[in-house]
Chains A and B, each alone.
Chain A
């Protein structure tokens, strides 16, 4: 089973600051199959990044995905108030077919 471990569990930052979220896989995965989602309370997850680094349509360019192998990163360059949410990484192709990280909560400091 491929396990995705996200860190930190909670990140406390102020608007305008830079956020760096990590997702580490228990074994190497294809960059093509690594995605990031944002979830706000009471809402379904929203696709931000797919293929490790491609922004989904409509996603601002302050969101950037990077990484390969077992280490992936989501960077938000300048936090806006609407960016405070929970972020999940997700992989495809292992066992189970899809797995998610446990999430990073980005909260206002």
Chain B
């Protein structure tokens, strides 16, 4: 099974942007849709959006429309999540997670998570 390997922790200033990567190991992203899910400290899981890497088509949760961009590079089997205009309440662990191209409806595999800290 493909493993998803994410980039390392980030510390950002309010108002700046962050870009987190998610690379497939042991395979490609071609058979998956890749979603981004975040988890604020001590809180639950929140879905932000997804991309179909084979087609390059993103779809965003309404809450994040205009502030998040999800991309995929087929040549490197890497997905990216770019979040702009960062605020302190964007401090969270950001996970990438895979669903099938046909939309099985559940996430497996998951990346290991990337902690993004927004602080002045």
Q: Which A residues lie at the B interface, using CB under 8 A?
A: 32-35, 37, 44-47, 50-51, 56, 88, 90-93, 95-103
When the two chains form their complex, are residues A88 and B44 in contact, meaning their CB atoms are under 8 A apart?
A: yes
CB distance from A80 to the nearest CB of B (A): 22
> Known pairs A34-B105, A45-B95, A50-B104. 8 more at Cβ < 8 A?
A35-B106, A35-B107, A44-B113, A90-B45, A90-B106, A92-B103, A97-B50, A100-B44
Does B46 have its Cβ within 8 Å of any Cβ on chain A? yes
When the two chains form their complex, are residues B95 and A44 in contact, meaning their CB atoms are under 8 A apart?
A: yes
- Note all chain B residues with C-beta closer than 8 A to A88: 44-45
Does B112 have its Cβ within 8 Å of any Cβ on chain A? yes
Listed residue (B63, B106, B112) with the most chain A CB atoms within 10 angstroms of its CB:
B106
Bound: A81/B15 CA distance, A: 44
Q: A44-B110, A44-B111, A44-B113 are in contact. Are A100 and B46 (CB under 8 A)?
A: yes
Cβ contacts A to B, 18 pairs, < 8 Å: A34-B105, A35-B105, A35-B106, A44-B95, A45-B95, A45-B97, A45-B110, A46-B110, A47-B107, A50-B105, A88-B44, A90-B45, A90-B106, A98-B35, A98-B47, A99-B47, A100-B37, A102-B44
Q: A92-B105, A92-B106 are in contact. Are A45 and B112 (CB under 8 A)?
A: no
When the two chains form their complex, are residues A100 and B45 in contact, meaning their CB atoms are under 8 A apart?
A: yes
When the two chains form their complex, are residues A56 and B47 in contact, meaning their CB atoms are under 8 A apart?
A: no
- Note all chain A residues with C-beta closer than 8 A to B107: 35, 37, 45, 47, 90, 98
CB distance from A87 to the nearest CB of B (A): 11
Bound: A45/B47 CA distance, A: 13
Does B62 have its Cβ within 8 Å of any Cβ on chain A? yes
When the two chains form their complex, are residues B105 and A100 in contact, meaning their CB atoms are under 8 A apart?
A: no
Bound: A105/B112 CA distance, A: 21
- Note all chain A residues with C-beta closer than 8 A to B46: 100
Q: A50-B104, A103-B44 are in contact. Are A96 and B62 (CB under 8 A)?
A: yes
Listed residue (B45, B97, B104) with the most chain A CB atoms within 10 angstroms of its CB:
B45
| Mask of B25-66 contacts with A, CB within 8 angstroms, 1/0 | 000000000010100000011110010000000010111000
